Structure 1
Amino acid sequence: MRKLQFRILAIFIAIFTIFSLSIGLFSINLLQDYAGNSQEEELIKQAKTIASLLPMNADNPTNLEAVTNEATALEMQSDERLTIIDLSGVVVFDSATNREDLENHSNREEFQAVLAGNEVGVSARNSESTNETLYYVAVPLLGEQNELTGVLRLSRPVAEINQISEQIKHSLLLFSLLALILTTLITLIITKRIARPINDIMIVAKSLSDKQYEVRYNGNAYGEVADLGQTINELATSLEEQTQEIEQNDKRLFELINHLVIGVMLIDEHRTIKMVNPAMSVILGEDVTKLVGNSYVEATKSYGLSHLIEVAYQQNKKQNDEIYFYYPKDKIVDANIVPIDGKEPGEQNLIVLLYDITEIRRLEKVRTDFVTNASHELKTPVTALKGFSETLLDGAMEDKEVLKQFLEIMLAESSRLDFLVNDILELSKLEQKQVPMNMQEVNLSEAVLATFQLVKQTADEKEMELNLLEEDTLFITVDNSRLKQILANLINNAVVYTQESGKVTVTIRKENDQAVILVSDNGIGIPEDEQDRIFERFYRVDKARSRNSGGTGLGLSIVKYLVENLNGSITIKSKLGLGTTFIVRLPIQPR
């Protein structure tokens, strides 16, 4: 701001100086002309006055000796050099020097002008007698008849005439210098008053450019500068509000991205990772946030995904495909690569969106398998019913023994079909959590003993032991019927899949805020590679025994969803040939 102040001051001084010089030169020339003309007129007037005072000899008007005495007297009253010249150019009288020493003046310009009939003759030249530059004025000396009798000449040094001009010059120069100093001081004061608020406004503007939006201009100003300060304050308020809004939006966007189940990664034009969210780390199986600033290849570790990203860079078009990850574990990912513009024109960035669809694909396969298995399970009783019905209609019903046998088989198959349909409907309701729960306090040991009564006949036929090991007496809030359904499925399976003289033990204990129910047997066990699939619908480890026992293959699936509907969990431990243990955990107080 100081530069602007001095620039304004310099411009003002330059303009003032130019105008002062122009006006001064014009004034000096004008005053010099006026002073010269005034002195010339004064000298002429004085010469005419002296000429009129000189007495001319009437008898001999050309004899100028008589006027020399009077001229001497007049010369004493005048400061100018007085010279009287006769018509022949001879100097009759000269107040400055001896007339005998002067040459003939007939060739003098002013003398010739008077002889030529002019009222006044003037000239300026260097005097040979006084050796100085003089200004000469000559007037005619007239007799009584107005005849020319001689020439009277007055001379004044040019230096005296120019002295007035020099005084005028000095006066104008002094006035101009004083005016310049005064106006400079006034201008400096005014520019300081203007510059100070502008400088304060510049400081506020610089703070705003440094993102310090809380600053305000509080100085004293006037006119447009005050309006400028108010505008700067309004700008600062607007920027502060916009910054707060942007920060709030950024925070919301940050929280939104961080809580997305979709993995998000931003890659710049140099293939460098600029931003990732936690979901991306989960999908890729490593903490990708540590790789921000590195190449995306270090994070993806998948040829399919890297290829898709490079195609998006080359074509600058959105890319979509399903990518298979084999490390650190098998996953199916729906990948979307979206090109976006960068900060600079022509800069190309990419947003990588990954959605883990492994579970979706697994459920689709389970659904497909379910339809296939359900069709197969339904086909068997339906085919049997159809075949026996056709056989009876073809005449077999006339034989009462055959009719009774076929009707018994048809009843068994229809009952099995009814069980299968009911289990499928039950499973569908449990999956959608549409089964109502009648929560009540239940004594867990009593529920187990009641279930033992349901399978006691089958267990007695196989000479099996049914044991209850109650480590803690537990009362839990649960739907009693659903709890018995869970226990019945697990205990019945234990009895069915355990050889004769086997043993089934139910253990009850408390762990933290959960009731733990362990249903153990020493039966055939489950192979380790099939334990992950034991809760799938229609999945059977021993398919022949399961079907012969009347099972639908949906029991454990129903148990799993029942436990989940009760906010619990179920796991399995088994060794082939040594037995199986199902571990059910239920909350003592439901959520």
Structure 2
Amino acid sequence: MKQLRIKILSLLSLFLILFTLLFLFLISSILESQTLEQQGEDLQAQLLTLSSQLDERVDEPDDLIDSLSDTAEIISERITLVSLTGEVLYDSHADASTLENHIDRPEIQQVISGEQVGVYDRESESTGEVLYYTATYLEDSNGEELGFIRLSKSIEEMVGVTNQTMLALAAFMGIAIIVSLLFTQYWTKQITQPLGHIKQVAEKLSLKDYTAKYKGNSYKEIDELGRTINELATSLDYQVQEIEENETQLRELINHLVIGVMVVDNERKIDMVNPAMNEILGENLYGNIGRTYNEGIYSAGLVELIEKAFKKKKLQNKEVTLYFPEERIIDVNVVPIFGQTDLPINYIVLLYDITEIRRLEKVRTDFVANVSHELRTPITAVKGFAETLLDGALEDEEVLVEFLTIIYNESSRLDTMVQDILQLSKLEQRKITSAAERVRVTEVIEEIKTILLQKIELRKIQFKVKEPEPLEIEIDRDQLKQVLLNLIANAVSYTHDGGEVTVYVRQIGHEAVISVKDNGVGIPKDQQSRIFERFYRVDKARSRNVGGTGLGLSIVKWILENNNGRITLKSEVKKGSDFTVWLPFKQINNTNGD
């Protein structure tokens, strides 16, 4: 603002000086012109008066010259007496004998040409001064022209008053300029200082310092501008806070999405990624922000789809299979985001991991196929033997009893399978009603041993229960019994004759741990992750022979999950299996779902 003050003062000074000079020049010209005109008229009148006084003395030349000498002592004007031939007879300011002939002087020529008074101004050849000349005829008493009388006066003397007036006027104008500049300096300071303060506030606002405020006290208009700046600062502060809050919420939302999000600009450079994107791709793309997307993405299918979106500038959707770091099926959407023009300003890449969905779809498809297959076997058996009986086997009592026994067994198997399917369905939908109570774990195990005792003794299996300390947990007794019955029955069924099944009951931390260990056939490593799937069997032929439905372990898994528990497996082929159940001591009483 100091520069603005200097500019204003400089321009104003220049303007005032130029105006003053022009004004003084015009006034000087006007005054000088008017003064010369007035002084000339006075000099002409004075010449005519002198001429009329001298007409009475023309007959006595000596008296005439003496009279001119006396008059010259009284007045300051130069008096010159010239004969009709131009000879200078007398001059009050010079020796007449040294002066040249004056007949050709302009003022003399004007009188000769008929003017009453001849007037002219020029530089005097004898004195070197610029003089104003007036001349007229000098007549005798009879009116005859005897010569010329001339009065002249210095121009400088004539305009002397004008010069004094102009000096006074110039002094006044100089004082006026100084006063004006002082006032202007004060006035500009009163304006530029608050404007400078407003500028500082605006600069702080541009640096996002919204605490800056205008606190000056100046002219009303400037203070209103300052208040407007303050209101703008308050508004900007509020808007920035709101934007930051929205950005924080949006960032948190994006960071917590299970969908991978990546923003790519028009130059194919990554602007933003969220953690889900890194997790899905198995790459840390944060280090690739500001670099092109193909430098951090190693899936050719994904890169090809993004590039297709850039070329067509349209939404692209496709399922892409990723093979690194593990095989995944990804639903990819590349969405162009348009600004005010028809061209996209950036692209949003959305990745949704549908591997589990596709797996569940496959499981569902397999389940339907397995159910159909499992149900078809007993139904076919029932139907076939029933048809045989209807075709005439009813007559043979021995055959009748055998066939009815088979039909009964197959129908029982069918009933068991249907019940297991219904129970599994209820477990998956959290519709199993449970009533938690304090249960002694070994008591439940003894009940199961009683149920399986005939099978255990028949196959000469050593059944042991080990419990370092008595253990009670809160759980639905029937659900715990069903879990342990499935595990112990499987252990007995898949253990060779004369084998060993051991149940360990113990406490680890805040959990009850129940392990069912056998030394039977074991489970291959590549199939251990699938044994909890419905109808999945490691050895399908043997599973059917032992009467399993293929749903037992699936039911076990869902019962444990509904009771906030879990199950783990350790197994080796021909060395046996170890199923371990983990249950918290305090269970939530799940009634009609979660």
**TM score, norm. by length of structure 1:** 0.91
User: Cα offset for 1:423?
Assistant: 0.8
2:388 to 385, 391, 405: 391
1:441 to 406, 413, 438: 438
Amino acid at match of 2:520: G
Kept after mapping to 2: 8 A contact 1:320/1:335: yes
User: Cα offset for 1:55?
Assistant: 6.6
User: Cα offset for 1:360?
Assistant: 1.3
User: Cα offset for 1:366?
Assistant: 0.9
1:90-489 correspondence to structure 2 within 5 Å: 91=88, 93-102=90-99, 105-141=102-138, 151-269=148-266, 271-340=268-337, 349-489=346-486
1:573–1:90 Cα change, 3 Å? closer
User: Cα offset for 1:384?
Assistant: 2.2
Kept after mapping to 1: 8 A contact 2:129/2:154: yes
User: Cα offset for 1:569?
Assistant: 0.6
CA distance in 2, matches of 1:458, 1:357: 45
User: Cα offset for 1:13?
Assistant: 2.5
1:85–1:318 Cα change, 3 Å? same
Match of 2:21 in 1: 21
CA distance in 1, matches of 2:409, 2:517: 31
Deviates further, 172-181 or 28-37 = 172-181
SS in 1 for 2:577: strand
1:105–1:523 Cα change, 3 Å? closer
CA distance in 2, matches of 1:329, 1:97: 130
Amino acid at match of 1:94: D
User: Cα offset for 1:21?
Assistant: 2.8
Match of 1:586 in 2: 583
Deviates further, 391-400 or 424-433 = 391-400
User: Cα offset for 1:228?
Assistant: 2.1
Match of 2:39 in 1: 39
CA distance in 2, matches of 1:87, 1:301: 127
CA deviation string 1:117-169 (max 9, x = no partner): 53322122344444543222224556677776654322112332344444445
CA distance in 2, matches of 1:329, 1:211: 46
Match of 1:570 in 2: 567
Deviates further, 112-121 or 231-240 = 112-121
CA distance in 2, matches of 1:275, 1:94: 110
User: Cα offset for 1:585?
Assistant: 0.3
Deviates further, 435-444 or 29-38 = 435-444
User: Cα offset for 1:352?
Assistant: 2.7
CA distance in 1, matches of 2:415, 2:576: 31
Give the total of aligned pairs: 588
Kept after mapping to 2: 8 A contact 1:64/1:92: no
CA distance in 2, matches of 1:147, 1:271: 119
Match of 2:12 in 1: 12
User: Cα offset for 1:192?
Assistant: 2.1
CA distance in 1, matches of 2:546, 2:129: 157
CA deviation string 1:259-295 (max 9, x = no partner): 1111223344554444322212222234443444555
Kept after mapping to 1: 8 A contact 2:55/2:138: no
CA distance in 2, matches of 1:2, 1:526: 91
User: Cα offset for 1:87?
Assistant: 5.2
Amino acid at match of 1:368: T
CA distance in 1, matches of 2:259, 2:16: 75
1:71 to 68, 72, 80: 68
Kept after mapping to 1: 8 A contact 2:504/2:516: yes
Match of 2:592 in 1: none
Segments of structure 2 that go 5 or more residues without pairing to the other structure are 589-594
Kept after mapping to 2: 8 A contact 1:433/1:565: yes
Deviates further, 153-162 or 579-588 = 153-162
User: Cα offset for 1:415?
Assistant: 1.9
1:498-517 correspondence to structure 2 within 5 Å: 498-517=495-514
Deviates further, 267-276 or 498-507 = 267-276
Segments of structure 1 that go 5 or more residues without pairing to the other structure are none
CA distance in 1, matches of 2:583, 2:135: 145
CA distance in 2, matches of 1:350, 1:77: 110
Kept after mapping to 2: 8 A contact 1:55/1:67: no
Superposition CA RMSD, Å? 2.9
Kept after mapping to 1: 8 A contact 2:309/2:316: yes
Kept after mapping to 2: 8 A contact 1:569/1:585: yes
CA distance in 1, matches of 2:332, 2:20: 82
